[in-house]
Structure 1
Amino acid sequence: MDIPQLTCKTDAEFGEMGQQYLAAGKQVALRRWQEDPCDFSPPTHRDYETVGFVLRGVLELDLDGETATLRAGDSWLVPQGAQHRYRIVEPMIAIEATSPPARFNERDEPPTDMAYHKCRR
């Protein structure tokens, strides 16, 4: 992977869950989510840390059994390995950074033992 990296919006790839992959480095990756309202997804955990920022809309984050409502301008952190799930309350756009980068080694794919729908993260 060459650094620095520039990713034009017309060249950004989309993942299986609807995420748009933006710039990625050796230690961190950036992605964009744009989703319509949906109910909570099943709980999951990831082998990377995620920080996010809501650009528009409202979502709820259930993290280890505690739920927080996030609106435009709010940010969050999901620690590596923490059980969590999301519910989109109003159409939203958010940016997330993952460390280590979630794009590699299939770490960013939906769990294979569950039926997939766009809101599952």
Structure 2
Amino acid sequence: MTVRAIRGAISLDVDERSHLHERTRELVAALMEQNSLTTDDVISAIFTVTPDIVSDFPAAAAREMGFGAVPLMCAQEIPVPGALPRIVRVMMHAEMNVPRDAVVHVYLRDAVALRRDLAQ
């Protein structure tokens, strides 16, 4: 198996815990589905949020999805002027038997604007 990094991001409408969890689950589920992964394939994940998200940790939502044994970390993005607000990003490391250019990166909702070249 080869270790691959999978990127993704999603926007929030509001900074509320339940909404953050809902959107984080949407993002993680899409990454898992589009890359045909199970939690056993995932080595670790690093979540980042823009400075305007303070309601909870995205990793809490991932743990609710069965990622309790996967090392998860959260951090804050640097506050770049003019950056999109209320964005959750993730970089997931997983064991995958695909070439690097076959990894499916997932950008959802307003986060599509971050990487139109990778968004589907």
In which range does the TM-score fall when normalised by the shorter chain? 0.3 to 0.5
Asked which structure has the greater RCO (Cα within 8 Å, sep 6+), the reply is: 2
Higher percent of residues as strand: 1
TM-score, normalization: structure 2?
0.32
TM-score, normalization: structure 1?
0.32
